[in-house]
Amino acid sequence: MNHLHIEKKGLRGLAIAESFRESDKISTLAGVVMRRDFIIDGFIFGHATIEGNDATDVILDMFKKLNRDDVSFVMISGLIISMYNIVNIKKIWTKLKIPIIGVTYDDSKGIEAAIKYHFPDSYESKMQEYKDLGERTKIMLHTGHPLFVRIEGCTISETKNLLNALTLQGAVPEPLRVAQMLAKTKL
Protein backbone atom coordinates (compact mmCIF):
# COMPACT_ATOMS: atom_id res chain seq x y z
CA MET A 1 0.00 0.00 0.00
CA ASN A 2 1.32 3.43 -0.95
CA HIS A 3 0.90 5.98 1.79
CA LEU A 4 -0.27 9.52 1.25
CA HIS A 5 2.39 11.88 2.55
CA ILE A 6 0.16 14.94 2.89
CA GLU A 7 2.83 16.89 4.73
CA LYS A 8 4.63 17.35 1.39
CA LYS A 9 3.62 20.60 -0.33
CA GLY A 10 4.60 19.11 -3.69
CA LEU A 11 2.34 16.05 -3.32
CA ARG A 12 0.48 15.78 -6.63
CA GLY A 13 -2.84 14.19 -7.37
CA LEU A 14 -4.99 13.76 -10.45
CA ALA A 15 -8.56 14.93 -9.81
CA ILE A 16 -11.21 13.88 -12.33
CA ALA A 17 -14.73 15.28 -12.77
CA GLU A 18 -17.25 15.18 -15.59
CA SER A 19 -19.89 17.27 -17.30
CA PHE A 20 -22.58 16.54 -19.87
CA ARG A 21 -26.04 17.60 -21.05
CA GLU A 22 -29.02 15.24 -21.08
CA SER A 23 -29.04 15.22 -24.89
CA ASP A 24 -25.33 14.27 -25.15
CA LYS A 25 -24.09 10.84 -26.19
CA ILE A 26 -20.73 11.35 -24.45
CA SER A 27 -19.63 13.19 -21.33
CA THR A 28 -16.49 15.27 -20.96
CA LEU A 29 -14.06 14.18 -18.27
CA ALA A 30 -11.52 16.73 -17.12
CA GLY A 31 -8.45 15.78 -15.14
CA VAL A 32 -6.42 18.31 -13.19
CA VAL A 33 -3.02 17.60 -11.70
CA MET A 34 -2.84 19.76 -8.60
CA ARG A 35 -0.16 19.95 -5.96
CA ARG A 36 -0.95 19.84 -2.24
CA ASP A 37 -0.22 23.61 -2.11
CA PHE A 38 -2.96 24.18 -4.77
CA ILE A 39 -0.63 24.84 -7.69
CA ILE A 40 -2.09 23.43 -10.92
CA ASP A 41 0.55 21.33 -12.62
CA GLY A 42 -1.27 19.91 -15.64
CA PHE A 43 -4.59 18.86 -17.07
CA ILE A 44 -6.11 16.40 -19.52
CA PHE A 45 -9.49 15.63 -21.10
CA GLY A 46 -11.29 12.40 -21.90
CA HIS A 47 -14.76 11.31 -22.98
CA ALA A 48 -17.00 8.58 -21.57
CA THR A 49 -20.07 7.12 -23.21
CA ILE A 50 -23.40 8.11 -21.70
CA GLU A 51 -24.98 4.91 -20.31
CA GLY A 52 -21.83 3.06 -21.40
CA ASN A 53 -19.32 0.87 -19.63
CA ASP A 54 -16.08 2.64 -20.52
CA ALA A 55 -15.49 5.16 -17.68
CA THR A 56 -12.84 3.06 -15.92
CA ASP A 57 -10.82 2.56 -19.10
CA VAL A 58 -11.16 6.24 -20.05
CA ILE A 59 -9.72 7.28 -16.67
CA LEU A 60 -6.84 4.81 -17.06
CA ASP A 61 -6.18 6.17 -20.56
CA MET A 62 -6.21 9.77 -19.27
CA PHE A 63 -3.64 8.85 -16.62
CA LYS A 64 -1.45 7.10 -19.20
CA LYS A 65 -1.59 10.07 -21.60
CA LEU A 66 -0.41 12.41 -18.85
CA ASN A 67 2.83 10.40 -18.82
CA ARG A 68 3.61 11.51 -15.26
CA ASP A 69 5.42 9.46 -12.64
CA ASP A 70 5.01 12.14 -9.95
CA VAL A 71 1.23 11.76 -9.46
CA SER A 72 0.68 10.15 -6.05
CA PHE A 73 -3.09 9.60 -6.04
CA VAL A 74 -6.24 9.80 -8.15
CA MET A 75 -9.41 11.43 -6.85
CA ILE A 76 -12.66 10.99 -8.77
CA SER A 77 -15.87 12.98 -8.34
CA GLY A 78 -18.49 10.24 -8.31
CA LEU A 79 -18.16 6.58 -9.14
CA ILE A 80 -21.37 6.36 -11.11
CA ILE A 81 -20.87 8.87 -13.90
CA SER A 82 -22.29 9.44 -17.38
CA MET A 83 -25.70 7.99 -16.53
CA TYR A 84 -24.70 4.70 -14.88
CA ASN A 85 -21.23 4.32 -16.37
CA ILE A 86 -19.65 2.79 -13.25
CA VAL A 87 -16.03 3.55 -12.31
CA ASN A 88 -14.22 0.49 -10.94
CA ILE A 89 -11.64 1.91 -8.51
CA LYS A 90 -10.27 -1.54 -7.71
CA LYS A 91 -9.31 -1.99 -11.39
CA ILE A 92 -7.72 1.47 -11.48
CA TRP A 93 -5.73 0.76 -8.31
CA THR A 94 -4.62 -2.64 -9.65
CA LYS A 95 -3.24 -0.97 -12.80
CA LEU A 96 -1.71 2.18 -11.24
CA LYS A 97 -0.71 1.03 -7.74
CA ILE A 98 -1.37 4.48 -6.25
CA PRO A 99 -4.23 5.42 -3.90
CA ILE A 100 -7.62 5.89 -5.56
CA ILE A 101 -10.34 7.93 -3.86
CA GLY A 102 -13.92 8.08 -5.12
CA VAL A 103 -15.81 11.03 -3.63
CA THR A 104 -19.56 11.64 -3.50
CA TYR A 105 -21.43 14.39 -1.72
CA ASP A 106 -24.82 12.85 -0.94
CA ASP A 107 -25.94 9.87 1.08
CA SER A 108 -27.48 7.84 -1.75
CA LYS A 109 -28.30 4.18 -2.02
CA GLY A 110 -24.99 3.74 -3.83
CA ILE A 111 -23.72 1.47 -6.55
CA GLU A 112 -25.89 -1.53 -5.71
CA ALA A 113 -29.10 0.49 -6.08
CA ALA A 114 -27.86 2.05 -9.32
CA ILE A 115 -27.06 -1.36 -10.78
CA LYS A 116 -30.40 -2.80 -9.69
CA TYR A 117 -32.27 0.15 -11.24
CA HIS A 118 -30.33 0.43 -14.48
CA PHE A 119 -29.54 -3.24 -15.15
CA PRO A 120 -32.54 -5.21 -13.78
CA ASP A 121 -32.04 -8.12 -16.20
CA SER A 122 -28.31 -8.50 -15.54
CA TYR A 123 -28.20 -7.37 -11.90
CA GLU A 124 -26.44 -10.48 -10.56
CA SER A 125 -23.65 -10.47 -13.15
CA LYS A 126 -23.11 -6.71 -12.80
CA MET A 127 -22.91 -7.04 -9.00
CA GLN A 128 -20.23 -9.73 -9.44
CA GLU A 129 -18.28 -7.32 -11.63
CA TYR A 130 -18.39 -4.58 -8.98
CA LYS A 131 -18.51 -6.62 -5.75
CA ASP A 132 -14.96 -5.68 -4.75
CA LEU A 133 -15.51 -1.92 -4.72
CA GLY A 134 -15.59 -1.85 -0.95
CA GLU A 135 -17.84 0.01 1.41
CA ARG A 136 -18.65 3.65 1.20
CA THR A 137 -17.47 5.56 4.28
CA LYS A 138 -18.77 8.89 5.55
CA ILE A 139 -16.12 11.48 6.42
CA MET A 140 -16.81 14.78 8.17
CA LEU A 141 -14.60 17.54 6.83
CA HIS A 142 -13.12 20.31 8.95
CA THR A 143 -15.60 22.60 7.16
CA GLY A 144 -18.50 20.74 8.78
CA HIS A 145 -19.62 19.11 5.52
CA PRO A 146 -19.86 15.34 5.01
CA LEU A 147 -18.28 13.44 2.13
CA PHE A 148 -18.78 9.79 1.22
CA VAL A 149 -15.73 7.93 -0.06
CA ARG A 150 -14.66 4.60 -1.48
CA ILE A 151 -10.93 4.03 -1.40
CA GLU A 152 -8.24 1.68 -2.63
CA GLY A 153 -4.57 1.77 -1.67
CA CYS A 154 -4.82 4.08 1.35
CA THR A 155 -6.49 4.24 4.75
CA ILE A 156 -9.59 6.15 5.80
CA SER A 157 -7.41 8.23 8.14
CA GLU A 158 -5.04 9.20 5.30
CA THR A 159 -8.03 9.94 3.07
CA LYS A 160 -9.67 12.19 5.66
CA ASN A 161 -6.41 14.07 6.27
CA LEU A 162 -5.89 14.56 2.53
CA LEU A 163 -9.47 15.71 1.90
CA ASN A 164 -9.28 18.15 4.82
CA ALA A 165 -5.99 19.53 3.49
CA LEU A 166 -7.47 19.99 0.00
CA THR A 167 -10.83 21.49 0.99
CA LEU A 168 -10.75 25.22 1.54
CA GLN A 169 -14.47 25.72 2.09
CA GLY A 170 -17.72 23.82 1.65
CA ALA A 171 -17.73 20.16 0.68
CA VAL A 172 -15.83 20.01 -2.61
CA PRO A 173 -12.05 19.48 -2.44
CA GLU A 174 -10.27 22.15 -4.47
CA PRO A 175 -8.79 19.80 -7.12
CA LEU A 176 -12.26 18.37 -7.86
CA ARG A 177 -13.80 21.85 -7.93
CA VAL A 178 -11.27 22.97 -10.55
CA ALA A 179 -11.75 19.75 -12.56
CA GLN A 180 -15.55 20.29 -12.52
CA MET A 181 -15.14 23.85 -13.80
CA LEU A 182 -12.76 22.68 -16.52
CA ALA A 183 -15.12 19.88 -17.63
CA LYS A 184 -17.99 22.38 -17.96
CA THR A 185 -15.93 24.60 -20.26
CA LYS A 186 -15.81 21.81 -22.85
CA LEU A 187 -19.63 21.64 -23.26
pLDDT of residue 110: 62
Total domains present in the chain:
1
pLDDT of residue 46: 97
Residue 23 lies in a domain: yes
pLDDT of residue 107: 76
Q: Are the beta carbons of 153 and 1 closer than 8 angstroms?
A: yes
Antiparallel, parallel or unpaired: β 12-19 and 146-152: unpaired
Residue 68 lies in a domain: yes
Torsion over CA of 108, 111, 116 and 119, rounded to 10 degrees? 130
Range 32-49 average pLDDT: 96
Residue 6 lies in a domain: no
The better pLDDT of the pair 187, 121 is held by 121
Residue 2 lies in a domain: no
Domain interval for residue 84: 12-185
- CB atoms under 10 Å from CB of 119, counted, come to 16
Three-state SS at 170: coil
Structure letter (DSSP) for residue 7:
T
d(CA 67, CA 157): 29
Q: Are the beta carbons of 130 and 113 closer than 8 angstroms?
A: no
Q: Enumerate the β-bridge partners of residue 139.
A: 147
Q: What is the pTM assigned to this prediction?
A: 0.89
**Per-residue pLDDT tens for 120-155?**
777 777 676 666 666 789 999 999 999 999 999 999
Q: Enumerate the β-bridge partners of residue 151.
A: 101
**Per-residue pLDDT tens for 58-101?**
999 999 999 999 999 999 999 888 888 889 999 999 999 999 99
The better pLDDT of the pair 165, 119 is held by 165
Which CATH number goes with the domain that contains 118?
Answer: 3.30.2170.10
Residue 139 lies in a domain: yes
pLDDT of residue 186: 72
d(CA 76, CA 175): 10
Average pLDDT, the chain: 89
pLDDT of residue 109: 64
Residue 159 lies in a domain: yes
